[in-house]
Amino acid sequence: MPSANWSAGLLATRLAFFVAGFGLAAWAPLVPLAKERLAVDDHMLGLLLLCLGTGSVIAMLLSSLSNAWYGSKPIILAGGLGLAIILPWLAIADTPLSLGATLFAFGVSLGSIDVAINIHAIELERATGRPLMSGFHAQYSIGEFTGSAAVTSFLSLQLGPLFSTFLCSALITIAIVSAWPGLLGTGSRQQGPLFVLPHRSVMLIAVLAAITFLVEGAMLDWSALLLVERDLLAEAHGGIGYMLFSLAMTAGRLSGDAVVARIGDRATLMLGTLPTVTGFLAVVAAPVALIAMAGFLLIGLGISNVVPVLCRRAGKQKVMPAALAIAVITTAGYAGILVGPAGIGLVAHMFGLPLAFAMLGALMSIVTLSARIMMIDPR
C-alpha cells in the first residue's frame, strides 16, 4: 500500500473508532434526564435500555452480510450518520414507546458501525502488514471519554439536552464525513458462503471476548460501589477507581501496537492478563485505598490489549469468513456487557461484592490459560 494511502486510511479508521465511542458515550449523561422526563421507575428504564442492546445485537448479526455485499466503508458512513441523526431524538422522546423505538434505532447504528470498523481495521492491518488494532481501540476509548465529557459540559453550561446533542451530532458528522475519503473502498466482499456456523476456534475467541467485555462492564457498574462498601473511599470519590482503570486502559492501548509488534499476540495475552488477575487480587484484598487504586491501574493496563488481539486473531483465522467471525465476536462481547453486570449483581447479592470481583479475576485467568490454544491454527 502506498504511504499516502496508508496515512489516509490510518487517520480515517481512527476517526471512525472515535465516532463509535463518542456516539455511545454521548447517550450516557442523557439517561437520568430521560428517566425524569418520562417519569419511569428503574424497572421500566432497564427495559428501555434493553432496546438499545437488542438493536445493537441484531445489527451485529446482520452486519456480516452487509459487509459481504457492500464492504465496510458504506456501513461505517451509514452507522456514523445514523448516530448523528438519532442522538438528538434521544433528548426529546417523551413517551416510553418513542424512546424505546429511538434507542432501538440508535442501537442498530452502534452495532453496525462497531462491526464494520473492526472489519475495516483488519483489512488495513492486512494491507500494511503492521499491528494497528490496539491504537484503533484506544481511539474508541478516547471517544467514549470525550463524548461523555462533551455532553456533561454542554449540560452544565445550561445549553439544554436538545442543543447539546445537536452540537455532538455536528461533531460526529464532521468526523465521519472527514473519514470517508480515506476509508478503504475494497470492502470485505467474500467469495464464499454468506453464512456458516461458527467454528469452535472462533467460538473460543468469542467466549474470551465475552469474558473481557464482562469485566469491563462490571468495572463500570460495580467498582465504585465496591470501594464505598469496603470503606476505602467516600461515596463522592467512588468513581476514582473506574477513572484510573479507564486511563490505564487507554494508555495501554496507545502503546499496544508497539508491544504486539515486539512480543507477538500470544505473549501479549499472557503478559497482559497476568497483571489483570494480580490487580483483582489487590482490589479485593486491599486494606487501604492506595493498594486498591494500584489494583485498578493494573487491571486497566492488563486488559487493554486483550480485545484488540482477539479481533486480530479472528481476522487471521481461515476456517470461516473474517466478517462473520468479527460479527460473532462483537456480538458475544456485547452480550457480556449486557448480561455480565447483572450476573455480578446476583453473585454479590448471594456471596458479597468482593467475592464477585474475585470471580472476575478467575475468569480472566481463563484468557491466560487459553492463549496457547488460541494461537494454534485450526485445521
Q: What is the DSSP string of 128-184?
A: HTS--HHHHHHHHHHHHHHHHHHHHHHHHTT--HHHHHHHHHHHHHHHHHHHGGGS-
Average pLDDT over residues 266-294: 87
Instruction: Please state, in angstroms and rounded to a whole number, the distance separating the CA atoms of residues 90 and 49.
Output: 12
Cβ(337)–Cβ(220) below 8 Å: no
Asked if residue 366 lies in contact with residue 359, where contact means CB atoms within 8 angstroms, the answer is no
pLDDT above 90 covers a percentage of the chain that reads 15
Mean predicted confidence (pLDDT) in 135-158: 84
Q: Residues 307-317, buried b or exposed e (16+ Cβ, 10 A)?
A: bbbbbbbbbeb
Q: Tens digits of per-residue pLDDT, 231-273?
A: 887 765 676 787 788 788 888 888 877 888 887 778 888 777 7
Residue type present at position 278: T
The rounded mean pLDDT for the chain is 81
Confidence of residue 16 (pLDDT cuts 50, 70, 90): very high
How far is the C-alpha of 42 from the C-alpha of 63, rounded, in Å? 32
What are the CA-CA distances from residue 5 to residues 83, 123, 128, 182, 321 (Å)? 27, 13, 10, 7, 25
Sort 185 into a burial class: Cβ within 10 Å, 0-12 / 13-18 / 19+.
Answer: exposed
Q: In this structure, what C-alpha cell is assigned to residue 196?
A: 456458516
**Grid coordinates standing for 157?**
453550561
Output the pLDDT for position 295.
Answer: 92
Question: Which among 122, 115, 139 has a CA at the least distance from the CA of 18?
Answer: 139
pLDDT at 319: 65
323-345, pLDDT tens digit by residue?
677 777 777 777 777 677 667 77
Residue 346 in 3-state DSSP?
helix
Q: Is the model's pLDDT at 98 over the cut of 50?
A: yes
Q: Is 326 helix (H, G, I), strand (E, B) or coil?
A: helix
302 with 251: CB under 8 angstroms? no
**pTM score above 0.85:** no
Phi then psi for 194, rounded to 5 degrees? -80, -15
Distance CA(63)–CA(182), nearest Å, equals 21
Answer with the residue of higher pLDDT: 131 or 107: 107
Residues in contact with 108: Cβ distance below 8 Å, sequence separation at least 6, in sequence order: 55, 56, 58, 59, 82
Query: Cα–Cα distance between 273 and 322 in angstroms, integer?
Result: 25
pLDDT at 87: 93
**Listed residue (267, 1, 15) closest to 126, CA to CA:** 1
Cα dist from 238 to 219, 221, 222, 358, whole Å: 12, 11, 10, 19
Q: How far is CA 139 from the centre of its chain?
A: 11
* 1's grid cell: 500500500
Q: How far is CA 344 from the centre of its chain?
A: 19
The 10 Å Cβ neighbour count of residue 100 is: 20
Q: Give Cα separations from 207 to 54, 203, 321, 336, 373 (angstroms).
A: 19, 6, 18, 9, 13
Q: Which residues contact 152 (CB under 8 A, 6 or more apart)?
A: 29
- What whole-number distance in Å separates Cα of residue 1 and Cα of residue 279? 41
Instruction: Name the residue with higher pLDDT: 213 or 295.
Output: 295
Residues contacting 259, CB < 8 A, separation 6+: 134, 268, 305
Query: What's the confidence (pLDDT) of residue 361?
Result: 87
286 within 8 A of 158, measured Cβ to Cβ: no
**pLDDT tens-digit profile of 20-63?**
989 888 887 787 788 888 888 766 776 787 788 788 888 887 87
